[in-house]
Structure 1
Amino acid sequence: MGADISMAKIPQATVGKPSGLVARTGHILDGLIRWSTELTAAALVVAEVVLLFANVLYRYALHDPLIWGDELASLLFIWLAMLGAVIALRRGEHMRLTTFIARLTPSRRAFVDTFGAVIVVAFILLLLSPAWEYVSEEWAITSAALEISNGYRVAALAVGLSLMLAISVARLMEQARPRHFLLSVVVVGTIAAALTSGKTLMTSLGNWNLVIFFLVAVVFMIVIGVPIMVAFGLSTVAYLSTVTVTPMLIVVGRIDEGMSSIILLAIPLFVFLGALIEAMGMASAMIRFLASLIGHFRGGLSYVLIGAIYLVSGISGSKAADMAAVAPALFPEMKKRGEDEDELVAMLSASGAMSETIPPSLVLITIGSVTGVSISALFTGGFMPAVVGAIAMIAVIWLKNRKKDLKVVDRATPSAVGKAFLVALPALALPFVIRAAVVEGVATATEVASVGVAYTFVVGLLFYRCFDWKRLYPIIVSTASLSGAILIIIGCATAMAWALTQSGFSRQLTALMATAPGGVMGFLVISAVAFVVLGSFLEGIPAIVLFGPLLFPVARSLGINDVHYAMVAIFAMGLGLFAPPFGVGFYAACAIAKVDPDGAMKRVWPYLGALAVALLVLVAVPWVSTGFLPAA
C-alpha cells in the first residue's frame, strides 16, 4: 500500500466446485500447509523484532554490537518473505487487479480464476528446478559471522516455491471444474509450445519482443487477475527462455537479490507496527484529540480525517493500516453530522494518496533500497510534500463546507481538549521517537521499527490498556502474509528490471528521456505523468522497483536531486494508486468503509484534482522536497 493497498482479497470460484476424494484431498493438503506455514512465519516475525531490538540494545546501550545479528536477521528474513508469500497465496491476498474480472458472470469468473491458477502453476514449475539448483550452487559458500552454509538461507526460495506449487494444486483440486482445468492447461501448453518452436522467429523481432513480453503479456495477465508477481516473473522467464540463452538459475539469483536487501526487513516490522497502533488504541487516542480540537468547525471532522491520516502514516508506513485505523473511529460521528458516505470515502481515498511520502512509508524504504538514495534523507524530505497535498485537500474541504449549515456541535472545553491531548500524548510522540532514533543514530532504518514496536507495546499496555491478546496471533500472521506478497513482487520486479537492462532497453530509455523536450522540467513532468499511470496499474512498490533503477540515473545526469525526484515519483504513484477506475487503493478505501465504489467515484475527482495541483507544485519547487535536508 505504500504497497500494501492493492492487497485485494481474491474471491475463490464458487461455481461448480468438485466434491469427493479429489476435493477432500486438496482440502487436507491446504490445511496442513496452512498450519505449518502460519505458525513458522509468526515465530519468524517475533524473532526478527526481538533480534533487531537486541541489535539496537547491545550496540547503543551496551556498546557491544552483535556481529552476527545482521547475518542471522538476513537468513530469517528470506524465510519469512517466502513463507509469507505462501500464506498470501493460500489466503488469496497477493496483489492483483480485480477491476475487470469482477464484472464477469460467475461461470466466466470461475474459468478465469482456474486459468489464472494454471498460469501460476506454470510459472512455479519453470522456476522450481532452478531454485533447487541454486541451493546446490550456494551450499559451498559459508557465511562470514555464523559460519554456516549460505544454502540454508537460499533454501527458503526452493521450499517456498514448492509450497506455493502445493497450494496452487490443492486449490485447483478443491475448486476447479475439470473442463475449465483441461481447457486452461491446453491454452497455456499451446502458448508454451508456440514460443519454444518459434524461437528463431521471435529472436528476429528485435525490440518488438519487449512489447510482446513486457507490455502485452504483462497487461494481459494483470487484466485477468493473475497476481502481479506472477505477471512480472512469468513474462521475464518467457522472454529470457525464448529470446536469449540465459539460464533460469540467474533469474532465481536476481529474485533472491531483490528480496534479500536487509533494508527491506523494515517492511514486515512497519506492517506489524501499523497493526499494533490500531489494536493498542493509540490511533483512536490521536483522533479523539484532533476531534476535540477542531471538530466543531464547518467540515471540522473532515480536517480531522486529513490530520489523522497524516499522523498515523507517520507511524505505520502502511496505507491499509492508516485507513483501517481512521475510518472506524471517525465515520460514525461524521455520518451523524450529515456527511454523505460517498464523500467520506472520497476524502479517505484521496488522503491515502496525499500521505504516500510521509515516513516511514514502505515506498520510501523500497526506493532507498533499489536506488541507493539515503533513507534518512528520504525520511526528512517526505514530510513537506504531504503538507502541500494536505493544504490542497483542505482547500477543497473549505470550499465544499463554507456555506453548509453546521449542525449543533458542542465545542470542547479547554480542559477537555487538554485532557484529550494528555491522553494522546504518548501516541503522538511515537513518530518523533521513530525519527529521532534514525537521525540520532540509535537505530538504522531497518532496526527503527523494532524500537517502535517496543515503544508501542509498553505505551499501549501501560497507558491505554485496551489490547485484546487474542488479536496478536492474527496480526502477526497477517503481517507475514502482507510482507511476503510485497517482497516477492520486489524479487520478481528486480529480475524483470535486470532482463530489461540486458535487452538494452534501459540505455534506449535513458537516451529518450534525457532528450525530452523542456529539459529538466520536461523530464520531471513526463516522469510524473508516467508514474501516475504506472501507479494506477502496478501500485507503488512494483512500479518503483521496476523503473527506479532505470530513471534515477537519468534524473541524476540532468542534475535533479535524488530526494526531489523520489518525492515527485512517489506522490505521482500515490495519485495513480487512488485514482479510479484502475487505482486499487480507491477500491481498498471503499472496502474498508463498506461503500459502493460507483457513488464514491463521482465525489473523489475534486480531491484528486487538488492533489494533481500539489504534484505540479512539487515538480516546480524542489525546495518542498529538499529544503530541510542537511547541507552537503
Structure 2
Amino acid sequence: MIFALGLVPVVLLLFGFPIFIVLLAGSVLALTGYMQMPLTAIQQNLMGSLNSPGLLAVPYFIFAGELMSRGTVSKRLVDFVRSLVGNLPGSLGVTTVGTATVFGAISGSSAASVVAVGKVMHPAMTADNYPQRFSAGMITSVSAIGIIIPPSIPMIIYGAAAEASIPRLYAAGVVPGLILAAMLSIFIMLRARAGGFGTTEAPSLKRILYTMGRASWALGAPVIVLGGIYGGVFSPTEAAAVACAYALIVARFIYRELSWSEILDAATSTVFFTAQVLVIIAAAGLFSWILTVNQVPQTLVTWIAEMEISPWQFLIAVNILLLVVGCFMDPLSAILLLTPLLIPIVDSLGIDKVHFGIVMTLNLAIGLFTPPFGINIFVAQSALKMQTLDIYRGVLPFFAVFLAALLLITFVPAISLWGMELFLF
C-alpha cells in the first residue's frame, strides 16, 4: 500500500506528470492491487467528490474575474488608488499593492492580477526610476494577495475539502490580507526612501472624486459580493453568480469595452480552467477516500498524539512543509492533496479549522512567487518581458515580508478570528 499511495505518486510528480494523473494512478493501483474492490468505486468517488454545492461558485468567480481583468478596469483602479496615496514615498509601489488588493477582491485570482496590474504599473514605475528587479519582484509577489483577500478560489476548495464554512473563511481572510498589504506598503515606502526613487504628488480632492467616479463600477463588485455574503443576503455560491452577472453588465453595457466575441472568449477560458480545477478535485476526492478507508489520517493522528506534539510545534512543521510544497505545486492541488491528511491532526490538537485554512492559503500564496516553479514568476516573465533570473532576485525581499506576515498570522490566531467576529453578525 505504501508503494501505491506513497512511492508511485512521488515518482510521477518528479517526472512532471499532471497532478490528477498522479492521484488517479496511485488510487487505481491501490484499489486493484491491494484493496481488491470493484472498479465501480472509482466512478462513484470521482463523481461524489464533485457533489458539493460550494464548488458551484468556482466557475462563476473565474468568469467574473476573466471579464473584469479585460479592458480598463485595472487602469481605473490604479488611478483611484494613486489619487489617495500619491503623497507617500514610493507612491507607485503602494498603489501597486492597493490595486492588487482591490483587484484580488474582484477576481480572486493571483495570475490575473499579475497581468492586469503589471501591464499598467510596470511601465509607470520604469518611468519613475524604480529599479527593474524591484518593480518586477513587487508585481510578481504582491499579486499573491489575490488568493488571500476574498473572494478566493483556494478558500472555496479548502472549505469543501475540510468541511469548513466558506463565509467564515472569507471573513477570516480580510484582516490578514489587509495586514499583509500594510506590511508590504511600509516596506516599499522605506525602500523607496532609502533608494531615492519614485516621485510624489500632492493629493487633490477633485482628482480623488474624479478617479473614484471612473472606478466606481469596478469597486462595486467586491462591495456587492462581500456585503451580500456578510449581510446574509445570499450564500457564497449565489454571490458568485451575482458577481458574474454584475461583471458582464459592467464590461458589456456600462464600460462598453468587451464585444460579444470577447465575452465568448472569456467564457471559453473559464470552461477550460474550470475543467482543470474540477478534474483535480475529482481525483483528489478518490485519493482522499482511499486514504480514509485505509485509516491513514487516523494513523497519523495517533502517531502525533504519541509524540505529544504541541499545536505551535505542529504549525511550525506545517508551515515548513507547505512552503516547500508551494515551490512545486499550485495551491489548488496542494490543498486537495494535503487537507485530508492534515485536518484530522488539526482537529485533534484543537486548532481552529478556519484559522488553519488562512495559514494554509497564505503559505501557498507565497509558493505562487517562490522559485523554481512559482506560477506568478512565469506569468510575470511573459507579461513584463523580463528575464526569469531577474524576477527571481526581485521577489526575495518580498518573500521576507510575506514570511514575517505568515509568522504573525500563524501564531496570533486572533487576527483571523477577529475578522469573523467583525464581519459575521
With the shorter chain as reference, the TM-score category is over 0.9
Verify: 1:511 aligned to 2:302, yes or no.
Answer: yes
How many Å apart are 1:574 and its aligned residue? 1.5
Sequence identity, in percent?
Answer: 27
Task: Read off the aligned partner of 1:257 and give its amino acid letter.
Answer: G
How many Å apart are 1:232 and its aligned residue? 1.3
Task: Read off the aligned partner of 1:544 and give its amino acid letter.
Answer: I
1:343, 1:219 → 2: CA distance?
Answer: 35
| 2:392 matched residue in structure 1 | 601
Verify: 1:270 aligned to 2:61, yes or no.
Answer: yes
Verify: 1:356 aligned to 2:147, yes or no.
Answer: yes
Q: Is the 8 A contact 1:274 1:322 kept in 2?
A: no
The aligned runs of 1:105-144 (5 Å cut-off) are none
Relative contact order higher in (CA < 8 Å, ≥ 6 apart): 2
Verify: 1:400 aligned to 2:400, yes or no.
Answer: no
1:427, 1:358 → 2: CA distance?
Answer: 16
Deviations 1:486-516 (A, max 9, x none): 1100111111112222233211222234455
Alpha carbons of structure 1 residues 336 and 516: separation in structure 2 relative to 1, 3 Å: farther
1:252, 1:219 → 2: CA distance?
Answer: 24
| 1:312 matched residue in structure 2 | 103
How many Å apart are 1:517 and its aligned residue? 5.8
| Aligned with residue 620 of structure 1, among 402, 411, 414 | 411
Alpha carbons of structure 1 residues 407 and 368: separation in structure 2 relative to 1, 3 Å: closer
1:614, 1:500 → 2: CA distance?
Answer: 33
Task: Read off the aligned partner of 2:277 and give its amino acid letter.
Answer: I
Q: Is the 8 A contact 1:280 1:461 kept in 2?
A: no
| 1:325 matched residue in structure 2 | 116
Verify: 1:528 aligned to 2:319, yes or no.
Answer: yes
Deviations 1:572-610 (A, max 9, x none): 122223211233333233233232211111121111111
Verify: 1:249 aligned to 2:40, yes or no.
Answer: yes
2:108, 2:304 → 1: CA distance?
Answer: 31
**Aligned length, in residue pairs:** 423
Q: Is the 8 A contact 1:305 1:326 kept in 2?
A: yes
1:223, 1:305 → 2: CA distance?
Answer: 36
Q: Residue 227 of structure 2 aligns to a residue in which SS?
A: helix
Task: Read off the aligned partner of 1:306 and give its amino acid letter.
Answer: V
1:516, 1:624 → 2: CA distance?
Answer: 29
How many Å apart are 1:247 and its aligned residue? 2.2
Q: Residue 382 of structure 1 aligns to a residue in which SS?
A: helix
Q: Is the 8 A contact 1:371 1:549 kept in 2?
A: yes
Q: Is the 8 A contact 1:434 1:449 kept in 2?
A: yes
| Aligned with residue 288 of structure 1, among 60, 79, 93 | 79
Q: Is the 8 A contact 1:378 1:563 kept in 2?
A: yes
Alpha carbons of structure 1 residues 301 and 215: separation in structure 2 relative to 1, 3 Å: farther
Q: Is the 8 A contact 2:327 2:374 kept in 1?
A: yes
| 1:496 matched residue in structure 2 | 287
| 1:629 matched residue in structure 2 | 420
Structure 2 portions without partners, runs of 5+: none
Task: Read off the aligned partner of 1:618 and give its amino acid letter.
Answer: I
| 1:455 matched residue in structure 2 | 246
Q: Is the 8 A contact 1:222 1:228 kept in 2?
A: yes
| 1:478 matched residue in structure 2 | 269
Deviations 1:457-487 (A, max 9, x none): 3333454232233311111110000010011
| 1:347 matched residue in structure 2 | 138
1:302, 1:618 → 2: CA distance?
Answer: 24
Q: Is the 8 A contact 1:489 1:542 kept in 2?
A: yes
Alpha carbons of structure 1 residues 403 and 367: separation in structure 2 relative to 1, 3 Å: same
1:510, 1:355 → 2: CA distance?
Answer: 33
| 1:303 matched residue in structure 2 | 94
Verify: 1:375 aligned to 2:166, yes or no.
Answer: yes
Task: Read off the aligned partner of 1:453 and give its amino acid letter.
Answer: C
How many Å apart are 1:531 and its aligned residue? 1.9
Deviations 1:285-323 (A, max 9, x none): 111111233245432111111111111111111222222
Q: Residue 122 of structure 2 aligns to a residue in which SS?
A: helix
1:310, 1:438 → 2: CA distance?
Answer: 19
| 2:218 matched residue in structure 1 | 427
2:200, 2:400 → 1: CA distance?
Answer: 31
Verify: 1:441 aligned to 2:232, yes or no.
Answer: yes
Deviations 1:223-258 (A, max 9, x none): 333221111111221232222202221122111112
Task: Read off the aligned partner of 1:520 and give its amino acid letter.
Answer: P
Alpha carbons of structure 1 residues 510 and 545: separation in structure 2 relative to 1, 3 Å: same
Task: Read off the aligned partner of 2:77 and give its amino acid letter.
Answer: M
Q: Is the 8 A contact 2:229 2:235 kept in 1?
A: yes
Alpha carbons of structure 1 residues 591 and 217: separation in structure 2 relative to 1, 3 Å: farther
Structure of higher CA gyration radius: 1
1:344, 1:407 → 2: CA distance?
Answer: 11
TM-score normalised over the length of structure 2: 0.93
2:199, 2:335 → 1: CA distance?
Answer: 47
| 2:369 matched residue in structure 1 | 578
| Aligned with residue 560 of structure 1, among 351, 357, 362 | 351
| Aligned with residue 279 of structure 1, among 63, 70, 84 | 70
How many Å apart are 1:412 and its aligned residue? 5.7
Aligned alpha-carbon RMSD (Å): 2.1
Task: Read off the aligned partner of 1:314 and give its amino acid letter.
Answer: A
Q: Residue 236 of structure 2 aligns to a residue in which SS?
A: coil
